[in-house]
Amino acid sequence: MRHVDFAPLYRSTVGFDRLFSLLDSQTVADNSPTYPPYNIERTGENAYRVTIAVAGFGDDELSIEARENVLTVKGEKAEAEEGSENELLYRGIAGRAFERRFQLAEYVEVKGASLRNGLLHIDLVRVIPEAMKPRKIEIATADNGNAKQIEANAA
């Protein structure tokens, strides 16, 4: 993979350090875990949904935390009982603990979460503050009778 040097940009820009750090981290080989699988979808103009396949996990074995623009989903299975009568011959359903992190953009908040049919759905919404929203500026028209005119004295 090709490596890009952002050093010249660091010298001529102010406030973009985080962006360049993110770009630098993307050029490194991706060794992130692939379990559990997930989808990210856009459900509206400012609404998103993260769906994570958590087959075999109950709602009491999952935890969701949003802190400082990072959404963290953790899953830990309860310990199996030693005195169980059934002997497990083959384990095809993964029950291992996991931790999945998602980087959230500014003003993105967790709206809610639900667990249905082995899928954990986390709904997100982007709430833009009023000060950041574009606003329409009205253009006033001047009436000819009320318009002030500036007169200059001839020298």
**Same structural domain, 4 and 75:** no
**Same structural domain, 114 and 63:** yes
- What residues make up the domain containing 23? 1-30
- Which residues are CB-contacts of 3 (< 8 A; sequence separation ≥ 6)? 27
Q: For residue 81, what pLDDT is reported?
A: 59
pTM of the shown model = 0.62
**Same structural domain, 50 and 72:** yes
Q: For residue 129, what pLDDT is reported?
A: 82
**Same structural domain, 7 and 68:** no
CB atoms within 10 A of CB 66: 16
Q: For residue 125, what pLDDT is reported?
A: 92
Q: For residue 84, what pLDDT is reported?
A: 64
Q: For residue 154, what pLDDT is reported?
A: 64
Q: For residue 107, what pLDDT is reported?
A: 86
Q: For residue 50, what pLDDT is reported?
A: 93
Rg (CA), the chain: 27
**144 in any annotated domain:** no
Q: What is the CATH number of the domain that holds 75?
A: 2.60.40.790
Q: How many domains does the chain have?
A: 2
Q: Is the dihedral of CA 25, 29, 33, 36 positive or negative?
A: positive
Please give the chain's pLDDT, 155 residues, in tens. 456 676 676 666 666 667 777 776 666 555 667 788 899 999 988 899 999 999 888 888 999 999 988 899 999 987 765 656 777 788 777 678 899 998 888 888 899 999 999 899 999 998 888 887 788 888 888 665 565 556 666 65
**Same structural domain, 112 and 38:** yes
